[in-house]
């Protein structure tokens, strides 16, 4: 989103929520902050998130509110933990213990990550399905939450964070 589009979004908030920033320095900083937050997003996507917020909230939204709505718009098909567990049960039923590769290929990305971490064969042979389901739900919710949080970050920030992470010494390494 460019500067003119950012100003338009902030003007929508000004009209809808009857607030304005009178100090030029604060207004400039606000525009810069919102533009940096959504630099990787299209105006259309940000506008859709804003329209959704205008209907849902009586209070002016924060950057985090808009980013969350953008993530919801971009990822409408993220399954609940119950739906993901249903995927696992279907894979166990369809592929069984012996076709782990086929079963994993049939799962959605997040569900597959959880199943791989738990072990597909271990899930298949477990006699205590309630415990396995509870462990799956906890792991799935953790990974899904992390994915949603990562989706909120602008691509440029993700790249910068990855570069900083690459420069960290590993455990046991010296600087």
pLDDT by residue (tens digit) across 136-145?
999 999 988 8
Average pLDDT, the chain: 88
- Split into its structural domains, the chain has a count of 2
Same domain, 95 and 145: yes
The predicted structure's pLDDT at residue 175: 45
Q: 105-150 pLDDT, tens per residue?
A: 999 988 999 999 999 999 999 999 999 999 999 999 998 888 877 7
Tell me the C-alpha distance between 70 and 62, whole Å.
13
63-74 and 43-56 helices, crossing angle to 10° = 110
Specify if 95 maps to a domain.
Answer: yes
Domain match, 64 and 116 both: no
Q: What percent of the chain has pLDDT over 90?
A: 59
**Which pLDDT value is given to residue 43?**
95
Residue 175 lies in a domain: no
Q: Is the pLDDT of residue 166 over 60?
A: no
Tokens of 97: 């213990």
């Amino acid at each position: 989103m460019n500067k003119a589009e950012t100003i338009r979004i902030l003007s929508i908030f000004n009209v809808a929520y009857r607030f304005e920033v009178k100090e030029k320095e604060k207004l400039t900083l606000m525009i810069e902050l919102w533009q940096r937050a959504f630099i990787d997003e299209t105006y259309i996507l940000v506008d859709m998130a804003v329209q959704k917020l205008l209907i849902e909230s009586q209070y002016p939204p924060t950057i985090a509110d808009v980013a969350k709505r953008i993530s919801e718009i971009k990822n409408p098909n993220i399954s609940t933990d119950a739906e993901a567990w249903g995927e696992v049960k279907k894979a166990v039923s369809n592929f069984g213990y012996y076709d782990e590769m086929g079963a994993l290929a049939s799962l959605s990305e997040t569900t597959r990550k959880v199943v791989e971490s738990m072990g597909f064969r271990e899930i298949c042979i477990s006699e205590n399905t309630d415990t396995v389901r509870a462990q799956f739900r906890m792991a799935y919710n953790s990974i899904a939450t992390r994915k949603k949080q990562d989706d909120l970050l602008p691509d440029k920030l993700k790249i910068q964070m990855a570069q900083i992470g690459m420069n960290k010494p590993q455990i046991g390494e010296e600087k």
